[in-house]
Structure 1
Amino acid sequence: MGLLNDLTTGLSSVTSTWSGIGFGVATLIATIILLNVAQQLFFRNPNEPPIVFHLVPFIGSTISYGIDPYKFFFSCREKYGEVFTFILLGKKTTVCLGTKGNDFILNGKLKDVNAEDIYSPLTTPVFGKDVVYDCPNSKLMEQKKFVKYGLTSSALRSYVTLISQEVRQYFSKDAPHKKFASTSGTVDLPAAMAELTIYTASRSLQGKEVREKFDSSFADLFHDLDMGFTPINFMLPWAPLPQNRKRDRAQKKMAETYMSIIKQRRQEGDAKSEAREEDMIWNLMNCTYKDGTPIPDREVAHMMIALLMAGQHSSSSTITWIFLRLATRPEIQDELLQEQRDVLGTNEDGSIKELTYDAMNRLPLHAQVVKETLRIHTPIHSILRAVKQPMHVEGTPYTIPPSHSLLATPGVTARSNEHFPEALLWEPHRWDESPSEKVARLAPKHLKEGVAEETEDYGYGMVSKGAASPYLPFGAGRHRCIGEQFAYVQLQTILGTLIRDFKFFNVDGSDKVVGTDYSSLFSRPLAPAVVRWERRTEKA
């Protein structure tokens, strides 16, 4: 009995101790939360934007922002106005909405805002050293100029043919994957379009050698590298996580693969040979920095990785959204096909003549389908900048201190009814040059008002500053996406080629569209997103 009493007493003591510890921890957490709430309610700094109310200090609004950024932004705009601050994983992040907010952040001076400090921890392990955000801004501007020179009209003209060939090959009845071997079926669009955009981008921009490697282990390397773009790597890019170890191995192997291609090309002789195809690797192999230094081969390899990764995400997401939207509007699909017949003409057998780069400029509805999809489904919902010195927000009493990050979200203006009536309605005809009475009320208001677009040369050619337009799917200012022209060519070519041979429908026959996955840096459709397809029986 004595032993039993001792054990009982001991257990009671341990239980009492743990209860005390639990009570102490709970009290500490409650105290921290109460102090945090009190600070927000009674000690607000009138010179800084209002902080979005939150209970837990470090977490702040991270979860509600991460689940649906646009819902979060619009809700905060109603409560706090166009300028407000929220806590994002312990960091005060100030959001500036509207066209003035886009201009304030995206056209901020180098002495005031910085993109490298924000993005380098995430992108450098993926792309590699000495390119994009792992180099001085002046060097990045030179690199953008080199890439832009590789996207000339003659290059884009040749890409249309190459992209069309890849689309036909992938959707052929005889394709090795056998996904489209019959006359009808279903397809998971996000998975299929991810494959297709990799094939089209690698074949057109990077040449035969790179494209051929995607039939083997290169696609697996790309996937492992892509997993490095997880939000946690903004804070812990060095963490020994399984996906980070795979990321590092993939980066090394992909860089070595590009290096071997470059080495072989140099050994084969003059890069200016008329027999060679135009592609970005040849272009960069012959570029020289302002100080006379040729681009090192390793930097060329890293720029190739960056180019492929950056373009694949936005194009894959956008072309998926295009066909998800078209699946709800069969009549638009028929209009697209008829536009090709009317503009391109037909061959003797009734088939539509070949799609060309010059012809695409005469297919306005095709361009409008892409444009309207990019408006609602802007690939990047948040653009971040580090604040380098105090920045006053014109027209407000607020000054943003260097302890904050800045966040621009052009997608909010593109989804705002004040700029685009019935903004969440997907309607390509809202962009018609002379819209019918039915859709005239939907026409973008800034086009009616004749808002002029400001441009500036940051060192790689004239680009939009974006000071006035609410439509900025490719950003604005010095960091505006230089692949914009290629993206339009790629998307319109895939659209124009596919619409000749296929019709797409929602499996359940409804006009519903899947939700958006905001879990990574890029907005994309929730997967799987399955639609039904049918091969057209008429000549196209």
Structure 2
Amino acid sequence: MGLLNTTLSGFSSVTSTWSGICFAVATLIATILLLNIAQQLFFRNPNEPPIVFHMVPFIGSTISYGIDPYKFFFACREKYGEVFTFILLGKKTTVCLGTKGNDFILNGKLKDVNAEEIYSPLTTPVFGKDVVYDCPNSKLMEQKKFVKFGLTSSALRSHVTLISQETRQYFHRDAPHKKFASTSGTVDLPASMAELTIYTASRSLQGKEVREKFDSTFADLYHDLDMGFTPINFMLPWAPLPQNRKRDRAQKKMADTYMSIIEQRRKEGDLKSEDREEDMIWNLMNCTYKNGTPIPDREVAHMMIALLMAGQHSSSSTITWIFLRLATRPDIQDELLQEQKDVIGTNADGTVKDLTYEDLNRLPLHAQVVKETLRIHTPIHSILRAVKQPMQVEGTPYVIPTTHSLLATPGVTARSGEHFPEPLHWEPHRWDESPSDKVSHLSPKHLKAGVAEETEDYGYGLVSKGAASPYLPFGAGRHRCIGEQFAYVQLQSILATVVRDFKFYNPPGVEGVVGTDYSSLFSRPLAPAVVRWERRNEKA
């Protein structure tokens, strides 16, 4: 009996101790939450933007922002105005909306804002050392100039032919994947368009050797490398996660593969031979920095990885959205085919003649389909910058301190009714130069105002500063995407080639389009996203 009493007494003591610990922890958490709330309600700094209310420190608004950034931005704009701050994983992040906000951040001076500090931890393990954000900005501007000069009109002219060929091969009845072997069926667009865009980009930009690798080992390496773009790597790029170990192995193998291609090409001799097929690798192998140093082969390899990875996500997502949208508008699909027949002409058997680079500028509806899709489905919803010195926001009492990050989101202006009536309604004809009565009320309001764009040369040629336009799917300023022109060529070429032979429809019982997946650095359609397809009459 005494032993039992002793045991019960000990158990009661332990229980009492744990109860005390739990009470102390609960009290501490409650105190932290209350102090956090009190600080927001009673100790706001009037010289800084309002902070989006949040219960939990460090976490802040991370979850609501991550689930649907645009919903979060519009809700905050309604409550706090065009400039506000939210907590993103412990970091105060100030958002500046509208065209003025875009200009303030994207055209910020080097002494004020910095992109490298934000993105280098994420991109360097994927792209490799000494390129893009792992080098001084002046060197990056030179690298962008090299790449831009590799996208000449003559190069783009040949790209149209190569992209069209790759697209026809992919959709051919006898293609190895057998996805389109019959006259009709269904297809999961995100997966298929990811394959197609990587094939077309590698073949046109990087040459036959690289394209052939995607039929063997490159595809698996690309997938492993792509896993390095997960959001957690913004904070923990060095973490010994399985995906990061695969990322690092894939990066080395891909870089070594490019190096072997470069080495073999150098052995071939005359780099100025007129017999070779021009591509970006040849272009970079002949480039020299201002200090007289040729681009090292390892840097060429890393730039090739960056070129492939950076453009792939945007193009893959956008072409998927294009066909998802067209599946809801068979009338637009028919208009696109008729436009090609009217402009390009037909062969004796009724098929449309081969597409050329010059044709793209004569197919306005094709361009408008791409443009309208990019307006609603901008691939990158948030553009971040580190603040290097306190920045006064014009027209406000706010000064952004160096402890904050800045966030621009051009997609908000592109989805705003003040610029685009019925902004979430997908209507390519809103961009018509002479809109019909049917769609004139949807025309972009900023076009009617005749807004002129400012341009500036940051070291790689004149680019739009984007100070006035609410349509900035490729960003603005010194970090504006240099692949913009190629992206339009790639997307329009794929679109024009596919609509000749196929029509897409939503599956029975499905209306509208799928939602958006914001879990990655790049926004994309939620997968799977299945549509029905039918082959057109061969002589249509």
Which residue is 1:105 aligned to?
A: 105
Contact 1:457 1:463 in 2 (8 A): yes
The residue aligned with 1:447 is: 447
Q: 1:520 — aligned with what? A: 520
CA distance in 2 between partners of 1:3 and 1:190 (Å): 69
Cα pair distance change 1:509/1:493, threshold 3 Å: farther
Deviation, 1:58, is 0.4
How far 1:10 sits from its partner (Å)?
2.1
1:524-535 matched pairs, under 5 angstroms = 524-535=524-535
Q: Distance in 2 between matches of 1:39 and 1:263?
A: 61
Q: Which runs of structure 2 are paired with 1:461-472 in the superposition (5 Å)?
A: 461-472=461-472
What is the aligned partner in structure 2 of residue 484 from structure 1?
484
User: SS at 2:503's partner residue?
Assistant: strand
In the TM superposition, what whole-angstrom CA distance separates every residue of 1:370-396 from its partner, at most 9, and x where no partner exists? 000000000000000000000000000
CA distance in 2, matches of 1:412, 1:192: 29
- Give the equivalent residue in structure 2 for 1:243: 243
Aligned pairs for 1:339-350 (under 5 A) are 339-350=339-350
Aligned counterpart, 1:398 = 398
Q: Secondary structure at the match of 2:220?
A: helix
1:474 aligns with 2:474: yes
Question: Could you list the per-position Cα deviations for residues 321-347 of structure 1 after superposition, in whole angstroms to 9, with x for gaps in the alignment?
Answer: 000000000000000000000000011
Alpha-carbon deviation of 1:512? 1.3
Q: In the alignment, what sits opposite 2:22?
A: 22
Aligned AA (2:481): C
2:297 paired residue number: 297
Residue deviations 1:105-135 (CA, integer Å, cap 9, x gap): 0000000000000000000000000000000
- The CA distance in 1 between the partners of 2:443 and 2:528, in whole Å, is 33
Q: Matches of 2:525 and 2:178 in 1, distance apart? A: 24
TM-score (norm 1): 0.99
Cα deviation for residue 502 of structure 1 reads 0.4
**For 1:194-205, what aligned pairs fall within 5 Å after superposition?**
194-205=194-205
Give 1:113-152 correspondences, 5 Å limit.
113-152=113-152
Q: C-alpha displacement at 1:522, in angstroms?
A: 0.4
Give the aligned length. 540
Return the offset for 1:404.
0.2
CA positional deviation for 1:2: 2.9
SS in 1 for 2:311: helix
Separation (CA, whole Å) in 1 of partners of 2:515 and 2:79: 25
In 2: Cα distance, 1:322 partner to 1:4 partner: 75
Q: 1:45 corresponds to which letter in structure 2?
A: N
Aligned to 1:58: 58
**Structure 2 counterpart SS, 1:228:** helix
Partner residue of 1:494? 494
Quote the Cα distance in structure 1 between the aligned partners of 2:36 and 2:215. 55
> Contact 1:375/1:473 (CA < 8 Å) preserved in 2?
yes
1:422-466 CA-to-partner distances (Å, cap 9, x unmatched) read 000000000001010010000000000000011100000000000
> Cα distance, 1:538 vs. partner?
4.3
How far the C-alpha of 1:509 sits from its partner, in A, is 5.4
Aligned residue runs from structure 1 range 63-82, under 5 A: 63-82=63-82
Separation (CA, whole Å) in 2 of partners of 1:345 and 1:226: 41
Give the C-alpha shift of residue 7 in structure 1. 2.5
> How far apart in 1 are the matches of 2:209 and 2:334?
37
Q: Which residues in structure 2 correspond to 1:177-326 (within 5 Å)?
A: 177-326=177-326
One-letter identity of the residue aligned with 1:482: I
Tell me by how many angstroms 1:278 deviates: 1.1
Q: 4+ runs of 1 displaced by more than 4 Å?
A: none
Partner Cα distance (1:274, 1:85) in 2:
56
Partner amino acid for 1:383?
Answer: I
Structure 1 contact 329–511 (Cα < 8 Å) conserved = no
Deviation at 1:467, TM superposition (A): 0.2
SS of 1:405's equivalent? strand
Shift of 1:20: 1.3
2:132 and 2:351 map into 1 onto residues whose CA distance is: 45
| CA RMSD in angstroms, aligned pairs only | 0.7
CA distances 1:174-229 after superposition (whole Å, capped 9, x unpaired): 01111110110000000000000000000000000000000111100000000000
3-state SS of paired residue (2:228): coil
Look up the SS of the partner of 2:407 in the other structure: strand
Q: Work out the CA distance in 1 between the residues paired with 2:311 and 2:323.
A: 18
Cα offsets for 1:25-48 (capped at 9, x unmatched) = 111111000000000000000000
TM-fit CA distance, 1:510: 4.2
Segments of structure 1 that go 5 or more residues without pairing to the other structure are none
In the alignment, the residues of structure 2 paired with residue 35 and residue 459 of structure 1 have an alpha-carbon distance, to the nearest angstrom, of 49
Q: Give the Cα separation in 2 of the matches to 1:245 and 1:353.
A: 48
Residue 227 of structure 1 aligns to a residue in which SS? helix
Q: CA deviation at 1:4?
A: 2.8
> Secondary structure of the residue that 2:187 maps to in structure 1?
strand
> d(CA) in 1 for partners of 2:509 and 2:282?
48
> Aligned-pair distance for 1:5?
2.6
* 8 A contact 1:183–1:534 mirrored in 2: yes
Match of 1:402, SS state, is coil
In 1: Cα distance, 2:217 partner to 2:14 partner: 57
Aligned pair 1:161/2:198, yes or no?
no
1:94, 1:404 within 8 Å by CA — same for their partners in 2? Answer: yes
- Preserved CA contact (<8 Å) 1:389 1:401: yes
Partners of 1:237 and 1:167 in 2: CA distance: 36
Cα contact 1:328–1:510 (8 A) shared by 2:
no
For the Cα contact (< 8 Å) 1:52–1:85, is it kept in 2? yes
Question: In the alignment, residue 189 of structure 1 is paired with which amino acid?
Answer: L
- 1:79 counterpart letter in structure 2: K
Q: Which residues in structure 2 correspond to 1:428-439 (within 5 Å)?
A: 428-439=428-439
SS of the residue 2:229 aligns to: coil
AA partner of residue 242 (structure 2): P
What residue ranges of structure 2 are gaps of 5+ in the alignment?
none
* AA partner of residue 108 (structure 1): G
CA contact (8 A) 1:189 1:529 kept: yes
Instruction: Give me the TM-score of the superposition, normalised by structure 2.
Output: 0.99
Separation of aligned partners in 1, 2:211 and 2:217: 12
| Contact residue 344 and residue 355 of structure 1 kept, 8 A | yes
Deviations for 1:254-274, whole angstroms, at most 9, x for unmatched residues? Answer: 000000000000011111111
What is the letter of the counterpart of residue 53 of structure 1?
A: F
Residue 371 of structure 1 aligns to a residue whose secondary structure is helix
CA distance in 2, matches of 1:427, 1:83: 30
Matched to 2:464, the amino acid is S
Aligned-partner residue type, residue 104 of structure 1: F
